[in-house]
Structure 1
Amino acid sequence: MLSDVPYSDHLAACSRCGLCLTACPTFKISGAESESPRGRVQLMLLEATRNIDPHTARPFLESCLQCRKCEPVCPTGVRVTDSINEHLGANRMDARLRLWRARAKFIWQTLATRH
């Protein structure tokens, strides 16, 4: 149930306006909604309500670079990065490892698209 998820009210505040899309580096590279802050918020909400398999959402949540560029442009103040970390429930070391993997993947994709 959504009300059982501690950060669900915060995520539900997302108005889906799309202002975060142009700020997100992973969305700029992939163009995939699931790799955008708005898409990740929706994936977390779907997973919290058990409308999606957690294994489906996890790679997209883990691909967040945690740069927080989406947060200042959000008119409703959704803290996507904090929500992802809380959602995944990882300890600090897992979170750091996830972050470095996501950044390495992003750098690789960026370099690959320039050639």
Structure 2
Amino acid sequence: MQTNLSEAAKKLPRAEEAESILRSCVHCGFCNATCPTYQLLGDELDGPRGRIYLMKQMLEGGEVTESTQTHLDRCLTCRNCETTCPSGVQ
């Protein structure tokens, strides 16, 4: 995924790691098949791929809305998505 981190994001301690994760995602959606919140709610933004899009948006300077926060907070951090990711996104 092509990224263009904001100047503020570039100053974050783990900016390079975040950019690497964003660039690794190939948008295949395999991760959604193992994500409990995506399975339950069926909303793209409640799955790993959608959350990566939201994180990208924030790191590129987009506004963090209440909706954005809600979708990110719904992640259970179970890491099931990692088991099906062909790109090795962690």
The gaps in structure 1 that reach 5 residues or longer are 80-115
Give the SS at the match of 1:72: helix
- Choose from 23, 30, 41 the match for 2:34: 23
Aligned mates of 1:75, 1:11 — CA distance in 2 = 14
After superposition, residues 20-99 of structure 1 pair within 5 angstroms as: 20-51=31-62, 53-55=63-65, 56-79=67-90
Q: When the two structures are superposed, what TM-score results if normalisation uses the length of structure 2? A: 0.78
- Of structures 1 and 2, the one with the larger relative CO (CA 8 A, separation 6+) is 2
Greater Rg, structure 1 or structure 2? 1
4+ aligned runs moved over 4 Å, structure 1: none
Aligned mates of 1:62, 1:12 — CA distance in 2 = 22
Q: Percent identity?
A: 36
Aligned length: 78
Question: Which amino acid in structure 2 is aligned with residue 57 of structure 1?
Answer: T
The gaps in structure 2 that reach 5 residues or longer are none
